[in-house]
Chains A and B, each alone.
Chain A
């Protein structure tokens, strides 16, 4: 892959929280390099606290890495790039004092979309996620799955080339998660977006991704990359195929040792690392 193809180029990124020698010092990410192709869906998977969310925040410019660089296209990332990158967070990142419609419109206002276009684009993206009839509801009036659909609509309306999703379905039950995954696959197959998707779920990773980057335990770095050659949108039946299971098992084997290591080494640090990453 040449750098012209890469939507995101990550070079030798390391990150630690706190000062070296300090009791709060955590090495979250160690010398990670990766190119993400234009239009690709990349899943990051790994043990808790392995730095996959940290890497996502570094790509999005929400965290400046201790060392290393990230380029989006030709631009070095030094802070949020609202015109190039949109986020979907784990949960409850919708403003509870605004309706679903207002949430989507506010995002575009922050980004600088002219007033006249905002409503129209908001309607379009709410329709795309199946929330057209819930524009006037407040987040508290929606289920967890619908809230994440609304958060996705807010991100889609920004019409960025890159979408960063930080365990967007992590707080949802298994069935809701499955349906949202299927809908997401259909929705994203129609766009040209480059997507980085952090998840804990092996099945979700195989179902959605073109490539799955498996992280090692902390300090995390990419241990292996698994390719999933299956056209988008993924059919729901994909999960019942031999191919799906082979890939899922391969991921499981790769991850199992790392998760054991992570749990035994960092049990006491987990909460803090979770709050930071």
Chain B
């Protein structure tokens, strides 16, 4: 009874969500087809859809997507390996935590996107500057969560394990790691999200290739419909990646 009521509620909220999205699309369509909004500012959704089919069907997106995903993969690999390693080392000493956690937390609150001009100067317009920015931005949530995960394990677990004779390795493998893992996974997910955002964003500011670059290029050429198609495509890619990462996080927590 209760269960079916709950599932009915869920169906109902899904219906309202779908109606909301359809409503927005309808408004969009009416604005372009009936109310005379300029096609240069807001292209007709049907045309955007045709363009999207063409972008995907022709495989035109592949080189740009490859550039963006490569930048993301490299940036995230560097920041997660570096962030977890540094976070673990700092977490071994209460003194180091006291010294470095506030510094890192302070650095985390800086809008790191401001370093982009500097990074372009250092590393050029190519992927290297995007990788540097994505790495820098995603490093902080990862290192901070790693410190929080390893640094604040309840002492009673450590004392209990030691009293039963746990070795250093056993303590790490069976106590510290499982205690810290959920917090570290959250840091990795946050780092992944900001890495993706900053890489796409920096591609729109100064770049030679990538999805962000393509979108700006189309805007400058006034090909608004195709630009909207690329935006929809990039949103879909980001959504898929976020779902995958969130799933992985939930699996890792178990």
Q: Interface on A for B, CB 8 Å cutoff?
A: 60-62, 80, 82-83, 85-87, 89, 92-93, 95, 97-98, 106-107, 109-112, 158
Q: Is the CB of A60 within 8 A of B165?
A: no
Q: Is the CB of A62 within 8 A of B159?
A: yes
In angstroms, how far is the closest chain B Cβ from the Cβ of A55? 15
Known: A95-B175, A97-B178, A110-B170. A80 touches B162 (CB 8 A): yes
Residue of A106, A111, A112 most packed against chain B (CB within 10 A): A106
CB neighbours of A107 from chain B (8 A): 164
Residue from the list B154, B156, B161 in contact with A110, Cβ < 8 A: B161
A86-B161 Cα distance, complex, nearest whole Å: 11
A112-B164 Cα distance, complex, nearest whole Å: 9
Q: Is the CB of A82 within 8 A of B175?
A: no
CB neighbours of B123 from chain A (8 A): none
A133-B163 Cα distance, complex, nearest whole Å: 27
- Residue B157 at the chain A interface, CB threshold 8 Å: yes
- Residue B160 at the chain A interface, CB threshold 8 Å: yes
- How many residues from B make CB contacts under 8 Å with A? 18
Q: Is the CB of B165 within 8 A of A83?
A: yes
A60-B154 Cα distance, complex, nearest whole Å: 20
- Residue B166 at the chain A interface, CB threshold 8 Å: yes
What are 12 pairs between A and B in contact, CB < 8 Å? A82-B164, A82-B165, A86-B163, A87-B164, A92-B154, A92-B156, A95-B157, A95-B179, A97-B179, A97-B181, A110-B174, A158-B164
Known: A92-B156, A97-B179. A82 touches B163 (CB 8 A): yes
CB neighbours of A95 from chain B (8 A): 157, 174-175, 178-179
Known: A98-B178, A106-B174, A110-B170. A93 touches B157 (CB 8 A): yes
Extra 12 A-B pairs, beta carbons < 8 Å, given A97-B181, A110-B167, A112-B165: A61-B163, A62-B163, A82-B165, A85-B163, A86-B164, A87-B160, A87-B164, A95-B178, A97-B178, A110-B170, A110-B174, A111-B165
Interface SS of B by simple majority: helix
A97-B170 Cα distance, complex, nearest whole Å: 15
Residue of B nearest to A164 (CB): B163
Residue of B nearest to A92 (CB): B156
Taking CB atoms and an 8 Å cut-off, the chain B residues in 174-190 that contact chain A are: 174-175, 178-179, 181
Known: A60-B163, A82-B165, A83-B165. A89 touches B178 (CB 8 A): no
CB neighbours of A93 from chain B (8 A): 156-157, 159-160
A182-B174 Cα distance, complex, nearest whole Å: 33
CB neighbours of A111 from chain B (8 A): 164-165
In angstroms, how far is the closest chain B Cβ from the Cβ of A54? 14
CB neighbours of B174 from chain A (8 A): 95, 106, 109-110
Q: Is the CB of A110 within 8 A of B157?
A: no
In angstroms, how far is the closest chain A Cβ from the Cβ of B163? 5
A110-B175 Cα distance, complex, nearest whole Å: 11
CB neighbours of A106 from chain B (8 A): 164, 174
Residue of A nearest to B178 (CB): A97
A92-B156 Cα distance, complex, nearest whole Å: 8
CB neighbours of B154 from chain A (8 A): 92
CB neighbours of A83 from chain B (8 A): 165
Known: A97-B179, A110-B170. A89 touches B164 (CB 8 A): no
CB neighbours of A110 from chain B (8 A): 161, 164-167, 170, 174
In angstroms, how far is the closest chain B Cβ from the Cβ of A89? 6
A110-B179 Cα distance, complex, nearest whole Å: 17
A95-B154 Cα distance, complex, nearest whole Å: 10
Residue of B nearest to A275 (CB): B155
A89-B157 Cα distance, complex, nearest whole Å: 10
A211-B29 Cα distance, complex, nearest whole Å: 86
A249-B178 Cα distance, complex, nearest whole Å: 48
CB neighbours of A62 from chain B (8 A): 159, 162-163
Q: Is the CB of A89 within 8 A of B165?
A: no
A110-B159 Cα distance, complex, nearest whole Å: 12
A61-B162 Cα distance, complex, nearest whole Å: 10
CB neighbours of B160 from chain A (8 A): 87, 89, 93
A105-B174 Cα distance, complex, nearest whole Å: 12
A83-B165 Cα distance, complex, nearest whole Å: 8
In angstroms, how far is the closest chain B Cβ from the Cβ of A110? 4
